């Protein structure tokens, strides 16, 4: 009788343990509500803008239900310099094992996975996830937001790469 009670107790405990673990693994795909751009006005207060200005810091605010957020503003891409041999032929200074150029730095999502490429870290506030960025030149840039739950880069936790669109900088 004691053996049967022990087995039933063990089975109930194992079942409860597995049930609670399975509930933690079910994570919804994060969504994106909006992306807003703010720049400081003459009084130093944040003012909503549609077009950032080169050389001035812009605050990028992402409204999302995700646990983690990364912003790829697409304004910088610097490849390591090429060297020139004695006979005048140029060759890549540094390439990785897949023959991709090594970047000094890049914040363009198209470079994701290359050495030197990374998105901007964000901070959570009451408005959403935010970061500050300064575009060094005028032009059109691809703004990409990567949101994920729990920060894991697997299909279980459903990271979402959201192309916000082209951003025109004056």
At 51, give phi and psi (nearest 5°): -130, 115
> Where are the chain's structural domains?
28-73+119-169
pLDDT computed for residue 84 by the predictor: 67
What stretches in the chain show pLDDT beneath 70? 16-27, 81-85, 88-93, 151-158
pTM value? Answer: 0.72
What is d(CA 69, CA 145) in angstroms, rounded to the nearest whole number? 7
What is d(CA 10, CA 100) in angstroms, rounded to the nearest whole number? 55
pLDDT computed for residue 60 by the predictor: 92
75 burial class (0-12, 13-18, 19+ CB within 10 angstroms)? Answer: buried
Q: How many CB atoms lie within 10 A of CB 108?
A: 19
Tokens 């400081």 belong to 40
Q: Tens digits of per-residue pLDDT, 20-67? A: 554 555 667 788 888 999 998 888 788 888 889 888 999 999 998 888
DSSP calls for 70-131: EEE----EEEPPPEE-TTS-EE-S-B-TTSPBPEEEE--GGGTTSTTB-PEE-EE-SS-EEE
pLDDT computed for residue 61 by the predictor: 92
- CATH code assigned to 28-73+119-169: 2.60.40
Partners of residue 8 on adjacent β-strands = none
What is d(CA 95, CA 137) in angstroms, rounded to the nearest whole number? 27
């Amino acid at each position: 009788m004691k053996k049967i009670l022990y087995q039933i107790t063990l089975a109930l405990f194992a079942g409860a343990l597995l049930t609670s673990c399975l509930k933690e693994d079910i994570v919804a795909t994060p969504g994106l509500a909006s992306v807003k751009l703010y720049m400081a006005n003459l009084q130093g207060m944040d003012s909503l803008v549609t077009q950032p200005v080169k050389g001035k810091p812009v605050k990028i605010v992402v409204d999302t239900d995700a646990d983690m957020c990364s912003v790829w503003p697409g304004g910088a891409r610097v490849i390591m310099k090429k060297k020139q041999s004695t006979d005048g032929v140029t060759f890549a200074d540094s390439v990785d094992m897949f023959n991709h150029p090594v970047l000094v730095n890049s914040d363009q999502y198209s470079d994701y996975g290359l050495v030197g490429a990374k998105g901007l870290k964000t901070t959570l506030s009451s408005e959403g996830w935010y970061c500050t960025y300064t575009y060094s030149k005028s032009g059109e840039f691809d703004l990409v937001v990567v949101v994920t739950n729990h920060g894991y880069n697997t299909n279980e936790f459903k990271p979402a790469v959201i192309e916000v669109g082209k951003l025109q900088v004056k």
